[in-house]
Amino acid sequence: MKTTSQSLYDRALLQEAAWESVKRLSPRYQVKNPVMFVVWLGSLLTTGLWLQALAGEGEAPAGFILAITLWLWFTVLFANFAEAVAEGRGKAQAAALKGLKKTVWAKKLREAHAGAPFHTVPSEDLRKGDVVLVQAGDVIPGDGEVVEGVASVDESAITGESAPVIRESGGDFSAVTGGTRVLSDWLVVKITVNPGETFLDRMIGMVEGARRQKTPNEIALTILLVALTLTFLLATATLLPFSIYSVGVAGSGSPVTVTVLVALLVCLIPTTIGGLLSAIGVAGMGRMMEKNVIATSGKAVEAAGDVDVLLLDKTGTITLGNRQAAAFAPAAGVSEKELAEAALLASLADETPEGRSIVTLAKERLHQRGRDIHADGASFVHFTAQTRMSGIDWQGRSIRKGAADAVKAHILALGGEWSAAVQQAVDDIARRGATPLAVAESSAGAARVLGVVELKDIVKGGIKERFAELRRMGIKTVMITGDNSLTAAAIAAEAGVDDFLAEATPEAKLKLIRQHQQDGRLVAMTGDGTNDAPALAQADVAVAMNSGTQAAKEAGNMVDLDSNPTKLIEIVETGKQMLMTRGALTTFSIANDVAKYFAIIPAAFAATYPALGVLNVMGLATPASAILSAVIFNALVIVALIPLALKGVAYRPQGAAAILRRNLLVYGVGGLVVPFAGIKAIDLMLVGLHLA
């Protein structure tokens, strides 16, 4: 299932969020957010003061207290609403995933092979270690590993991709996911999880925002907000006895009221970021889901934003993955046409992308459409890991192509010669980052090398610019490849990566990650095979391909449903966007509070200290309208910022210093200016309506 985000303005979503925000007014829920809990307590207190005023014992007019009380409750509701909208989008995704869960009947085998007898059981009865037979048209009953067979599997219900994939026993493509369907042939699958622990179950749990745990940075910011709230709470609490004492000494004026002090406290504490903090975190995970990435926790998303080092696999990530024949380098005394014809013949039965590209290039050079040599009794020799060569035996000729050292050994064994010029051509091709493929021929007891075919791994278009963006963000890119150092260095230079690890082994990857982590860096990497599992488990952000093995998916803290290795770059960008959003709104919230001081403090103490009227720089009409305007603005600004909190600020590939300067300029200065204009506008409206 391709995960899509529900529209922010979806009517059903907003209605559900509105009802949810009311249900969250319970103290058991409010206490989880210390800043908004203080606002909730203030709302209760002013509600009691309003009831007293109705009974004729009020400290201020009942209408004024009621207006303050209602807007304080709205402030709490709007904060609840922001988080409810964010979680509602996640729950909508979870509900769609739950629709995929259905009872599937499994053919449980008594023994782990296709010919064994089976009996039919519901998928809920399967346990880890059970073995099932899945035939064409059957739904795979649970997550597992293929132990026998090969089949085409439709995984569109999970990934959203319509193209079927091949799953087979052994290797890195043996993992299957419950809920997908076998289209052809059959598989014997060993179940690897118990009911309730499947990948689909984990997906549902991951997207349900209510289960999201706070991240370390979020916890640290919450502690800061609590400290600011306590500071202002203590400061505000001392103002009442101080004002009573001042009035007693002066013998004139009146002390500040509790209602005004509550309004002052709510406007001083960072309610804007306090009300939106949880929504930002939930929305960050939602944006990952939009990119078809399942994050096991908010910590993984946040860590992606703090990543310093990216480990990227060369094949499929930096390069297109399929090496293409680029040129022929004939040996001395051999024409390019002769080499091209031999390479063409040796590649006719080679169905690999490399083999097909040699055929295509040779036909272009020979200006021919092809030939039928099957009728002449041609015998094809297929590639094996032992010989590392393939070719053809035809009309007394034995043509072989393969790795240079393998062809060299083959020629020398037949009594042929491996010239220094051929070796030089091999070295030159490798130095350019390409792969040399030698071509040799033997006939009538004579063997000779015809030349070398250059296979080039094509670097993806635009990838160098992406790496330059990452470099500006302070992120180091490291290419991981099994190629030799010469080839790796050439491709690394062409792609623009900062470093590379050649001839990489699982141990070498693990060592490299630990080395960077010991230097205080956060490391991200992708992987799909069982041999990637140790490195994935060690990495701070580990993205496992959905097409990979169960071991890789269990070791990672994210799963890419599209199995796209370049997705790691987008994941880092999404993580940084979440951190940028949190930083921007925190800056705006604190700057916002500074501006509100000038509105509410002169008004709050106008009766006690008339001289403070000099600070009424906004020219607000009355103390009552000033206080009410500030409280109304404080509530409405949360509503205004909900779309920004959920969508995130615009991402720009900049360094930390540049982002900080931009936040201070846009959200810092904006946070200072907007309240002045907003509070003044609300004050004019209140005066015009004669509400204050």
Active site residues: 313
Q: Return the amino acid letter for 210.
A: A
243 in a known ligand binding site:
no
Residues 7 and 206: their CA atoms lie apart, in Å, by 20
CA distances, 511 to each of 507, 514, 518, 558 (Å): 6, 5, 11, 21
350 in a known ligand binding site:
yes
% helix / strand / coil in the chain, to the nearest 5? 55, 15, 30
Residues 217 and 303: their CA atoms lie apart, in Å, by 9
What's the token pair of residue 157? 């219900």
**Pairing of the two strands 181-191 and 324-330:** unpaired
658 in a known ligand binding site:
no
Q: What is the DSSP string of 574-635?
A: HHHHHHHHHHHHHHHHHHHHHHHHHHHHHHHTTTT-GGGGGG-TT--S-HHHHHHHHHHHHH
CA proximity to 179, closest of 156, 161, 148, 202: 156
518 in a known ligand binding site:
no
354 in a known ligand binding site:
yes
Q: CB–CB of 192/145 below 8 Å?
A: yes
Residues 475 and 498: their CA atoms lie apart, in Å, by 9
603 in a known ligand binding site:
no
Q: What angle do CA 305, 306, 310 make, to 5 degrees?
A: 90
111 in a known ligand binding site:
no
CA proximity to 584, closest of 640, 636, 661: 661
The residues near 384 (Cβ < 8 Å, ≥ 6 apart) are none
Q: Return the amino acid letter for 207.
A: V
Strand order in the sheet with 476-480: 293-295, 558-560, 541-545, 523-527, 309-313, 476-480, 499-501
383 in a known ligand binding site:
yes
389 in a known ligand binding site:
yes
Binding positions for ATP are 350, 354, 383-390, 401
**Binding site listing for Mg(2+):** 528, 532
Which residue ranges make up the annotated binding site?
Answer: 350, 354, 383-390, 401, 528, 532
